[in-house]
Amino acid sequence: MSTPPETLTLRRPDDWHLHLRDGAPMASVLPWTARQFARAIVMPNLKPPVTTAAQALAYRQRILDALPAGSDFEPLMTLYLTDNTPPEEMARARAAGVVALKLYPAGATTNSDAGVTDVRRTYRTLEAMQREGLLLLVHGEVTDAEIDVFDREAVFIERVMAPLRRDFPDLKVVFEHITTKDAADYVAAADARTAATITAHHLLYNRNALFVGGLRPHWYCLPVLKREEHRRALVRAATSGSPRFFLGTDSAPHAATLKEQSVCGAGCFTAPAALELYAEAFEDAGALDRLEGFASLHGPAFYGLPLNAGTVTLRRTPWTLPDTLDFGNAAIKPLRGGETLRWKLD
Ligand code: DOR
Ligand code: ZN
């Protein structure tokens, strides 16, 4: 048997799905991402959402202004697609450097009230996106109250994703943070213009994690963790070497006081140890050699962006992730806080 490696060096990776928020909370979580990733796709679900090119440019500047001195981190901006996003805005978005629009079905998740009520209402805008080469990033869950929460992703594929692919074959679509075998199989079998991001927490945990020793709000995200068979399918997809699957943390910070409530918002804050968590998942699958493709190569290829220069190194060094971190004037609890992690970023 070969001895497990002590270090792991990767081309500098990117995070293809990230929530940074705004203001002081943003300034406190941003360094966690910037120390690991060269670029990140920044989600637009602020309050109010980022719906115009001008708003995206202003948000981008606030992020750049909040970066630690010397950081060359590059935020890749997105717009929040609504029923009323004007097709004309797509050329302005492209000119402003916006790379994608995010489709939130109305009511599906955190700050999704302004989301899309019926995808057909957005068809003229999707046509303009296809023309401008903007990507569509999809939160793939139906919101129909009659559909079981654990089935919402699978139902989304037949009701929304399949018709969308048929009607816009040239649009590049990322099925974000997939959580089921259904979605992994769908993306693996789709054409080369369909890809998916996968979070570290969906690779490492099944839905039991929500209930260990009691109800655990910091493990609640959307789409919610699924059964073990789905987790395994995600691990197979992520470690398959297929360029359709790449890293997107969906790190989604919420103040601890708001998570630890009778009603808690969805989102797992994984940015502080994102690469370390992915390395655990890939090592457990015997696929550490596939992590670089997933974290650093497949995303840029799909987005049509250059690979990053430079490398990052992970070291096999047990360390304890702090239980609580700063979040503006509040506190935040990272996923796995207070626990020992196997890998540590240099
Ligand atoms: O868990 C989630 N949190 N899922 C989402 O889709 C949104 C995100 C957030 O913004 O907190
Ligand atoms: Zn997200």
Mean pLDDT for the chain?
A: 97
Q: How far apart are the first and last CA of the chain?
A: 27
Q: What is the pLDDT of residue 1?
A: 55
The phi and psi torsions of 23 (rounded to 5 degrees) equal 60, -145
**Architecture field, domain 13-309:** Alpha-Beta Barrel (3.20)
Give every residue of the chain whose pLDDT is below 70, as ranges: 1
Q: List the one residue out of 133, 138, 194, 140 whose CA is nearest residue 166.
A: 194
User: In this structure, which ligand is nearest to the CA of 201?
Assistant: 1
Dist. CA 102 → ligand 2 center (Å): 10
pLDDT value for 196: 99
49 near 77, Cβ under 8 Å? no
Atom in ligand 1 nearest the alpha carbon of residue 266: 1
Among 223, 162, 218, 227, which Cα is nearest to 194's?
162
Closest CA to ligand 1's atom 3:
267
Cβ neighbours of residue 239 under 8 Å, at least 6 residues apart?
Answer: 282, 285, 287, 290, 294
Nearest CA to ligand 1 atom 2: 267
Report which ligand 1 atom has the smallest distance to the Cα of 19. 10
- 326 to each of 78, 192, 331, 338, 345, how far by Cα in Å? 26, 41, 5, 15, 20
Q: Which residues of 305-325 are buried (b: 16+ CB within 10 A; e: fewer)?
A: eeebeeebebeeeeeebeeeb
Residue-wise burial string across 198-208, b where 16 or more C-beta atoms lie within 10 A, e elsewhere: bbbbbbbbebe
What is the rounded distance in angstroms from the CA atom of residue 166 to the CA atom of residue 274? 35
User: Does residue 139 contact residue 102 with C-beta atoms inside 8 Å?
Assistant: yes
The token pair that represents 281 in the structure block: 């998942």
Best residue for ligand 1 mutational test, from 22, 152, 221 (most atoms within 8 Å of Cβ): 221
> At residue 29, what is the residue type?
V
Ligand 1 centroid, distance to 18 Cα (angstroms): 9
Residue 247 has phi, psi (to 5 degrees) of -75, 130
- Can you read off the two tokens belonging to residue 193? 């213009």
> Could you read off the pLDDT of 185-212 as tens digits, one per residue?
999 999 999 999 999 999 999 999 999 9
Calpha distance 14→39 (Å, rounded): 5
Does residue 109's CB lie within 6 angstroms of at least one atom of ligand 1? yes
Beta strands in 56-99 (DSSP E): 74-80
DSSP run (H or E) holding 25 = helix 23-34
Give the number of the ligand closest to the Cα of residue 219. Answer: 1
Per-residue HEC secondary structure of 33-47 comes to HHCCCCEEEECCCCC
What is the CA(170)–ligand 2 centre distance, in A?
24
Rounded to whole angstroms, the Cα distance separating 226 from 167 reads 30
Q: What distance in Å separates the CA atoms of residue 75 and residue 70, rounded to the nearest whole number?
A: 15
Q: Which of 109, 226, 264 best tests ligand 1's pocket when mutated (most atoms within 8 Å of CB)?
A: 109
Give the ligand whose atoms come closest to the C-alpha of residue 20: 1
- pLDDT, position 108: 81
Q: What is residue 39's predicted lDDT score, i.e. its pLDDT?
A: 99
Residues with active-site annotation: 250
- Token pair 């799905």 is found at 17
Q: Is the CB of 45 under 6 A from ligand 1?
A: yes
Smallest CA-to-CA distance from 160 within 100, 119, 109, 106 is with: 119
d(CA 346, CA 343): 10
What is the model's pTM? 0.98
